[in-house]
Chain A
Amino acid sequence: MKILTGNDLGSGAVVWWTGEGWSRFVADAVDVDEHGAAIAAAEEAARRVNAPYVIEASAGPDGPVPAHIKDRVRSVGPTVRDDLALARDPRAGSYVI
């Protein structure tokens, strides 16, 4: 599947496209199929996101898992600081990237 990610313009936080808006949690990401570029352009123009891009992901038991390690790290936070990981992510801390 393909999912859409970027950073929140004002806060810089990593965000994922949910079909209706943006979530901090990759688990909420939806398959954007071939619509990624169009959604990205519209959302960027509306200043709801910065530097959005489409990535490959696979469907895991807890939702989409980004294919590239860089986006897996983005989805949890620095792997060396469990305390900074997103609390809701079940893989925080024990996540094997």
Chain B
Amino acid sequence: MYRYDQYDQAIVDARVDEFRDQVARRLSGEFTEDQFKPLRLKNGLYLQLHAYMLRVAIPYGTLDGRQMRMLAHIARKYDRDYGHFTTRQNIQYNWIKLEEAGDILADLASVEMHAIQTSGNCIRNISSDQFAGAAADEVGDPRPWAELLRQWSTFHPEFSYLPRKFKIAVVGSDTDRAAIQLHDIGLQLVEQGGELGFKVFVGGGMGRTPIIGACIKDFLPARHFLSYQEAILRVYNRYGRRDNIYKARIKILVTELGAEEFARQVEAEWREILPLGIDAPVAEIERIEGFFAPPPFETGLADDVDLSDPDFAVWVKQNVHAHKVPGYAIATISLKPVGGIPGDASSAQIERIADLAERYSFDEIRVTHAQNLVLPHVRKADLYALWQGLRDADLANANLDLASDIIACPGLDYCSLANARSIPVAQALAERLAPIERDPGELKIKISGCINACGHHHAGHIGILGVDRKGEENYQLLLGGSGAEDASLAKIIGPGFTQDGVVEAVDKVLGRYRELRTDGERFLDTYRRVGVDPFKAAVYG
């Protein structure tokens, strides 16, 4: 794991002091809300439906036990004993008091964490593959590059007031576990003739205008990583629209110019930048890479797992993935208990996971964009003990990537921008589908409470979007999306439904799928083969 150096720690500590002072001035009346709002947003503090909400950055979704314990401590001491892990691999607290915000940031800083650049029109927290450094299929570890981006983008003065927010994701394998084609910049580590480099996608995004990113460079040599990002950001910063918030994201610029012309402008800018020498020196990249060196894996471990406990066997089949080192495995902890709130974890659960990570996973934890957690390096021989530890804390849900593993944004239960509730729909669907979910296999249901698409509904095999219909909650059903390497955008299939109605509609869609599918076909594959019509007919008659 990366550890702060003196500069990292100094700037984060200075930020805490500055914000404490700003909070005091707001409470004393020196600042009005209009003056204070941009300052609090720069520190991840929103005002939401029930209280202030704090969004804490988890750089590329990586944490250690000490940090996890601090997240639990914050939930217990300053919030209501739980936190919400988000699709941006962050955590949000929903019941924060302004008076205590400075103390919380100080607590976070004591474990090398903060809430900087979790809001506003800047480069946001970098996201990545939750299996980084562990996946059997990776070309290289994306985390050092994500960390380099973090350092480069933190307080980058030129990119602090972009036309709009900016989200970057980096992965290291062909399997895309971070939805890179739905980010402003998506980066995939690739190898060409023995040299490491990146495939570069730009202009992806969800929200009001969902667009799949275009590949503007097949191979960016790794040594020019930063200068090329800088070139992209410069073109965007200069030509991205500032006159209309709905047209301000880079995806609109790329679409309006065309990907080819955008790429040409980036190349031209890049040629200007290259001689300035802003690329990180090899020694610096190696220094960062040193923090992500593999943990001391044991060799000669047994590779088989005793699956005689049937419940354990189901969990292994569903939630455990191959590791690149023999004798080890990657375990995903589903935060989707049937009937629970997707992504929520109690302080006790967060602490339990910290314990288990320390004991069984070289003290490493990852957050996934599907709102689950991962222990990336578990000895296969320890899987059973790990599972028992999870089960005792209600964390052994064996439903990864199945129908009840639903992504849902906070929706109208927490979010002031929402049109409709997301969580109750997720709960009702999970309860309905859990008994039959093993049969369809992988099925990604994603729910957002408004068009901002925090719940990735466009990328759902089945997506649900909450809308306001004359003051009533209403839900549109979308089919056929994917946030993986086979990215596609789900499409609305027809008129919307009530909360109960949308659950029924999903049930009908799946009924039709069971009639139509061929052997081993996922819902998404069947949909792509037969098109939307049979499903429309099933839902609307």
Contact = CB atoms under 8 A, between A and B. Distances in A.
B interface SS class = mixed
A14 B50 contact: yes
B302 interface: no
Contacts of B307: none
A70 B80 contact: no
Contacts of B33: 44, 50-51
A interface SS class = loop
Contact of B52 (A12, A80, A97): A12
A7 B53 CA distance: 12
A79 B422 CA distance: 11
Contacts of A10: 27, 97-99
Contact of B414 (A11, A44, A78): A78
A51 B414 contact: no
B97 A11 contact: yes
A19 to B, nearest CB: 23
Nearest to A10: B99
Contacts of A50: 33, 47
A7 B47 contact: yes
Given A50-B33, A51-B33, A70-B49, A78 B27 contact: no
B374 interface: no
Interface in B43-88: 47, 49-52, 80
A78 B50 contact: yes
A77 B423 CA distance: 14
Contacts of A47: 27, 29
B98 A69 contact: no
Interface in B380-439: 412-414, 416, 418, 421, 423-424, 427
Interface in A49-73: 50-51, 67-70, 73
B472 to A, nearest CB: 8
A37 B22 CA distance: 27
B414 to A, nearest CB: 6
B416 A80 contact: no
A9 B94 CA distance: 15
Given A10-B99, A12-B47, A80 B413 contact: yes
A87 interface: no
Given A9-B98, A12-B97, A80 B427 contact: yes
Contacts of B96: 12
A78 B413 contact: yes
Instruction: From B26, B49, B96, B97, name the one whose CB has the most chain A CB atoms within 10 angstroms.
Output: B49
Interface of A: 7, 9-14, 44, 47, 50-51, 67-70, 73-74, 77-81, 84, 97
